[in-house]
Amino acid sequence: MNSAGLAQSVLFEERVAQNGKRIGIATLNAEKSLNALSLEMVDLLDPQLRLWAANPAIAIVVLQAAGEKAFSAGGDLQHLYRTMLDQQASDAPDNIQGNAYAGAFFEREYRLDYMIHTFPKPILAWGHGIVMGGGIGLMAGASHRVATEKSRFAMPEITIGLYPDVGGTWFLNRMPGHIGLFLALTGAAIGATDAIFAKLADYEIAQADKPAVFDALLTQPWTGENDDVVLTRLLQRHLTPTSEAVSSPISTNYALINQLCSKPTLPEIVNAILALKSEDVWLQKAAAVLRAGSPGSAALTFALLKRGRHLSLAEIFRLEYVVTLNCALRSDFCEGVRALIIDKDRQPKWQHTSLADVSRDWVNGFFVGPWTGENQASHPLADLRTTSLPIKITTFT
């Protein structure tokens, strides 16, 4: 059942299982833009997911994407770029609430991501192809996350003067060892095996087996009581056989990454990565992205991961909201989007020429907003529950 009267950037369908229960399927349908997440898409997904959560006939929800190239390559930044330029030319270029579009987009995107993390029913996210930035934000909180042989996960925000948002402060801190920090600083892309190792995915299933998996969804004994277990067992029956030939740079270099990123200060960590002499092409690309990325983004990312280590998921989304709107005021984010997406010259002129030029006061300024202290109740995301852990479905196999 498609949402009548609304643009079809997201398609909705309900399939009836043999026992009468229904499977809700949401399909990102912006294939030409690699399913980049727009405000329109967020505004379609949010109410439909709420309806499915409240409908006892819906057993599980499936989140997938059209096309073979991408689940979602991130957020739709072109409109955001224009609004950042408009604010820079306005009478209030430093007003954190002066960009209405940015405020609306990030509030609703983060609210949607949080709902997925805390959804009361199983969500199967099929992450085929590119899964980056906002795409990871959609997928990270799903209870059952599938990666395929073509999946490529990355949080490359350092290349656009941003930081890994959409809950990145939460899930990067919960990866094994120091790989979350390494992936954030280098924007390194990883495949299915490493995504599972890094806790960004749960199952690797061949894309060719997707029709069989979806057909099997209609034959399961959904009851509303242990549907997470039913879905887990179904997915486990379709796992891709383990192969020693599969490239797994994260697990292969795990000890080295921990050694590099366990140094006590960010300059020491960055210098160690940049000084690394390796014939590993993946490590070389990671170092190259860090070298070309925004020094300010590196410093901000490091500060966020430290500040967010013991925060609840709700607190992290509220913190990221303030930080992201401050990013929209600063030159690096706008310049990074220009260089990578608008003009595509890949020659950004960052505010800081090196990490040594980034001051602590400059970084601390990103955490200042109008919703702190006595004004916390007015935060746009104040109503998110403040549980110390996301309300996740417990899976017993």
Task: Return the active site residues.
Answer: 75, 134, 157, 165
CB within 8 A of 66, min separation 6: which ones? 11, 27, 28, 29, 30, 31, 35
Q: How far is CA 298 from CA 90, 293, 386, in A?
A: 28, 8, 28
Q: Do residues 133 and 266 touch, judged by C-beta distance below 8 A?
A: no
Q: How many helices (H) and strands (E) does the chain have?
A: 17, 9
Rounded Cα–Cα distance for residues 164 and 376 (Å): 24
Q: Outline where 200-354 has alpha helix (H).
A: 210-217, 227-236, 249-252, 254-261, 266-274, 281-292, 295-307, 313-329, 331-337
Phi, then psi, of 167 in degrees rounded to 5 = 90, 5
Residue 22's identity, in one-letter code, is: R
Q: Do residues 26 and 48 touch, judged by C-beta distance below 8 A?
A: yes
Which H helix or E strand runs over 14?
strand 10-16
Rounded Cα–Cα distance for residues 243 and 151 (Å): 16
Which H helix or E strand runs over 132?
strand 130-132
Q: What letter does residue 25 receive in the DSSP assignment?
A: E
Between β-strands 22-28 and 10-16, what pairing exists: parallel, antiparallel or unpaired? antiparallel
Q: What letter does residue 393 receive in the DSSP assignment?
A: P
